[in-house]
Amino acid sequence: MRHLPAHPRGDQDRGCRDQGREPAGLETRREAGVRRRALLLSGLGAGAALVVGWGVLPPRSRQGLADTMPVVDGEVGLNGWIKVSSDGGGVVLAMHRSEMGQGVHTALAMLVAEELDISLAKVRLVQAGPDKLYGNVALFVASLPFHPSEREAGHETRSARAGQWIVSKVARELGISATGASSTVADAWEPLRLAAATARAQLLGAASLEWRLPVAELSVANGVISHPSGPQGHYGLFAKAAAATPPGEVTLKTAQQWTLIGTNAPRIDLQAKIDGSAQFGIDVRLPGMVYAVVRHAPALGGSAGAVNADAAMKLAGVERVVRLGTYAG
């Protein structure tokens, strides 16, 4: 009845012709819905293909490029973590975690010193930059809701292994740097040791090429490469050539080969904190730097009434008076 024309008796033939057909407006809306549905399904399919494709790609490397760390004269970058001083063969390590009293700076320096066969005294720390390389992957992986028995090394369940793989890849891409949850050593355990072992292999390779001697016949003791026939030299002498030398096969030391890891090593930051030479944020001095002093309201939610800026500007050393709004804190 709803499709009857305004004058049924005058258009009986058309009524017969339209039987079984839907109104034009409803048909158009249905076609639009089909197209919209097809578009959404195509988008979901393309998104799923991208996710699957990204999932099978190898994860972002945690070694970094040699130019990740800024270098100064006399330094050569070997990867994103390690620079070598050409004058004495000392090692500069990019420190990407905060030292809050637990000794993580010493622990991470030990990982590098172990694989490079140098003493802790030869490792100098510099603040790492904001590169994604220094993100905390272990912190994200540890947040997964799996029981410890499900993620035990060598006995992980399939779901735990898949979850860790996905979250690890995402965390590498995000590159969020954070210190906490006892994750520092766990996160750096493999990347730092591998970076140091790779640097060592490059340095040995450079020495081998210069002396024309097999790498297998060279040895390292406290950063000095030597050969039984007499040639020897510290890491710094080979740093520049090492940066252009492929590392070849890189193997990490076994626990039986460790001489530093697992020992009660002295804190590398202890002396500077005892004698006051350690630099903290409050110690930073920059060109043209000025200091701000805030006059707080005596009550929560209070704001400044009258401000005699002219009188304040007459005081020695005052550069500017800024009136702030109402802020909590």
53 has pLDDT over 70: no
- Angle between helix 184-211 and 104-116 (nearest 10): 30
Average pLDDT over residues 301-315: 87
| pTM of structure | 0.74
**Confidence at residue 234, expressed as pLDDT on a 0 to 100 scale:** 97
**Strand partners of residue 191:** none
Q: What percent of the chain has pLDDT over 90?
A: 59
**Confidence at residue 328, expressed as pLDDT on a 0 to 100 scale:** 62
Please tell me which residue, 148 or 204, carries the higher pLDDT value.
Answer: 204
Distance CA 138, CA 153 (A): 14
Task: Report how far apart, in Å, the C-alpha atoms of 268 and of each of 6, 15, 92, 274 are.
Answer: 96, 95, 13, 11
159-189: burial string, b at 16+ Cβ within 10 Å, e else:
ebeebbeebbbebbeeeebebeeebbbebbe
Average pLDDT over residues 127-144: 94
Please tell me which residue, 184 or 44, carries the higher pLDDT value.
Answer: 184
**Confidence at residue 326, expressed as pLDDT on a 0 to 100 scale:** 73
| Average pLDDT score, the chain | 86
Confidence of residue 307 (pLDDT cuts 50, 70, 90): confident
